[in-house]
Structures are given as C-alpha cells and as structure tokens.
Amino acid sequence: LNSGVMLMNLTRIREVNMIDDILKIYNIYEKNITWGDQCLLNIYFNQYPERLLEFTCEWNYRPDHCMYENNCPTTEIMGIKLLHGCRGAFHNEKYQEFKAIYRAIDEWNFESNLKSTILHKIKLYLSEHSTTNCGKISSMFTKHIAKEISAKNRKNDINDHGTCSATNECTKPTLNNVSSIQNSPHLALVICGDRDEEVLVLLKSIFLFTKYSSTNIYLHLITDEQAKKNMIKKLSEVPLLMRQMFIVKYYDIIYPSYVDREQWINLFRYCGTQRIFLPDNLPELDHILYFDTDTLLLQSLDRFWSLFNNFNQTHIVGLVKENEVLQLSWYPLYSKHPFVWPTVY
C-alpha cells in the first residue's frame, strides 16, 4: 500500500481504535520499519483486510507505474487522475514526464484560455520526452485534462484578484458548522519545512480541474509555524476566484501526549506521520481526503470525494497498492514485516 493518498472515514477509525493498534504494531516491528507509517499501515491492513478499500492506481499514479512499462492497466481506459511525484519526481531529472506536468501547472498564470495555455504546455513539455517509457504513454497523462477544462467557465472571472484574506474569511459557509457540510470535499495536507511552493501547485491543479460550483472545498492545513506563514502569504497572492474555492483552516503539528513526539515526528520523513493522527487532530470531522504535498490532481476533486460511496460497512480507509506487479513491488522483495500483497502476479 502507498499512503501518499488516502480516503479516511475518521469516525470509524476512532470506533475501531486504529491508532492504538498502529502504536502496538510499531512497538513490535520498530526495527523492521523502512517507510515509516506506510509500513505500519501495510501491517495493519494485512491483519484487518476487511477494513481496507483498495481503489485503483489511476488515483495514485507514481513513477513506478511507468518506469519500465505501464503497469497500471486501468489508466488505459480511465487515464491518470492523480499524479504522485514521490521521490522528488516533480523536481529532478530522472522523471522528466512528471516534472513536465508539474512545470506546466506551476507556470500557468491564471490566463482565461485554459485549453490553449495549460493543455498546450503540458502536451508540448511531454513531447520532449516521447521516447521514454513514461513518455510513450503521454496520452494517459492528458486523457481527462481537456474534458475537465472544457467543463469550466472562468472566462469572465479568471483575472479577478479581489481582496479576500488568505484564510478566506470572506467566504461562506465557514468551518464553524462542519456537521452540515460533510457532503462537501474535505482535504487534509501536512506541510512542514519548504513545501509551500509544492502545495500551491497542487492547489492550482485542484482549481484547474475541479468544476467550479457553489460547493466549497474545505482545506485543512496541518503545518509548522514557518509553513503556515508561507502559506498565508502565498494564498493571499492568488486570484480571488481560486481563494473562494477553498475554506482554509490551519492546525499545529501536534502529537498525542502518549507517544514520543521526537521519535514519531522524525520517523522516515519529518512530520510525515502526522497523517496517522488525523482522527485525533480533526475530531469534528467524519471523513477526510489526505494527499501528500507532492501530488497533482488531474480530475475534478468531487469525483475523488465520491469514492467514499464505495465504502462498505467495514471499510475505514481507502488506499492504492504500492504496485500491481509482484516483480516490481518493494514489499515482496525487501520487506521484513507483513504487508498487503499486490493484486497482479
């Protein structure tokens, strides 16, 4: 399982005391953990498979899925819906196709004609790497983008910069009445250090490819102090229409008193384990989407949110497999603890 993208039924997680079980698992397998809380989730759902909804890999497409050949078969029909630039794929020279899409979205300056700007740039940048294994399937990267852009109507509003605050206090409804807004998407991001630029590009991708309506997106940002300052500044500088899409609330990085904060905050990646404790940190919420900051959404967020409709009565978390091919999956080859096996052998 890859924990960079998660659907979390927070109420059920609390009911089954998943966090307590995760802590017990850590005490047993501490010396065998390689990928932090991702390994802990693999062990947990190996023990409780009935609590896991496995959703398909087009919703968490990573370099591993195409570095040799495309091993996410659903993308051939569905296209790639969320791009996960793990291992620095958006910023290094090894995964140029991922970097190309990130670059195009980052460079987009809120011009009105989305199709001739962002879509053209993505196709242009991808064409520069058409001979690589990932580049050979470039049509899967763009399959939904034109359709999502065409569904939006921003021609008259895109250059309205307005004066709303970065926390969108000028927009309604607010987070003070969360019990009445659970049908609206709620997204949690954990931001530590210098991830603010990456987060802004992620939010631009959500803005670009999510159909604008009266439904807001409730954005829960769990940050350290510097990241909070950076995000407030950056969000204050984007156009009003983008800020109006998000209702933002900030939270401090907090670990429960019953765990060793220094141990957990530094497990694998600094403050990455904060996502495990979202049920405690967001007690007012029933459901949450969690994205790593190195992700880009290529389809409307409300469609991702609708995946909660696939939960049965026992599911508490939705995750994508680390890989669909046994020979390419890290866990069967190297893991020293239980894990959730790939589907395709």
Q: What is the pLDDT of residue 82?
A: 95
Rg of the Cα trace of the chain? 20
> Taking the chain, what is the end-to-end CA distance rounded to the nearest angstrom?
16
Q: Give the integer Cα–Cα distance in Å for 242 and 211.
A: 12
What stretches of the chain show up as alpha helix (H) in DSSP? 10-15, 18-29, 37-47, 75-78, 96-107, 114, 120-127, 138-142, 145-150, 196-209, 225-236, 240-245, 261-265, 278-281, 301-305, 330-334
State pLDDT tens for residues 73-106. 888 888 899 999 998 999 988 889 999 999 999 9
Q: What is the pLDDT of residue 187?
A: 97
Residues 6+ apart with CB under 8 A from 113: 155
Q: Please state, for a pLDDT cut of 90, what percent of the chain lies above it.
A: 50
Q: What is the pLDDT of residue 185?
A: 94
Q: How large is the average pLDDT for residues 3-17? A: 96
Token representation of residue 208: 């670009």
Q: Which residue has the tokens 């680390």?
A: 322
Residues 6+ apart with CB under 8 A from 138: 97, 123, 126, 127, 129, 130
Taking CA atoms, 73 is separated from 39, 70, 99, 140, 273, in Å, by: 25, 7, 22, 11, 30
Residue 313: CA count within 13 A, CB half-sphere: 0
Taking CA atoms, 118 is separated from 59, 111, 210, 219, in Å, by: 21, 9, 14, 24
Q: Which residue has the tokens 């996502």?
A: 275
Q: How many H helices and E strands in the chain?
A: 16, 9
On the question of pLDDT at 113 being above 70, the answer is no
On the question of pLDDT at 253 being above 70, the answer is yes
Q: Give the integer Cα–Cα distance in Å for 307 and 318.
A: 9
Token representation of residue 178: 């969360």
Token representation of residue 135: 């580049």
The closest alpha carbon to 304, from 178, 174, 184, 173, belongs to 184
Q: What is the pLDDT of residue 136?
A: 86
pLDDT band at 235 (very low <50, low <70, confident <90, very high): very high
Token representation of residue 327: 């020979």
On the question of pLDDT at 169 being above 60, the answer is no
On the question of pLDDT at 279 being above 70, the answer is yes
pLDDT band at 231 (very low <50, low <70, confident <90, very high): very high
pLDDT band at 115 (very low <50, low <70, confident <90, very high): low
Q: What is the pLDDT of residue 112?
A: 59
Q: What is the pLDDT of residue 147?
A: 67
Q: Please state, for a pLDDT cut of 70, what percent of the chain lies above it.
A: 82
Q: How large is the average pLDDT for residues 50-67? A: 92
On the question of pLDDT at 325 being above 90, the answer is no
Q: What is the pLDDT of residue 170?
A: 40
pLDDT band at 142 (very low <50, low <70, confident <90, very high): confident
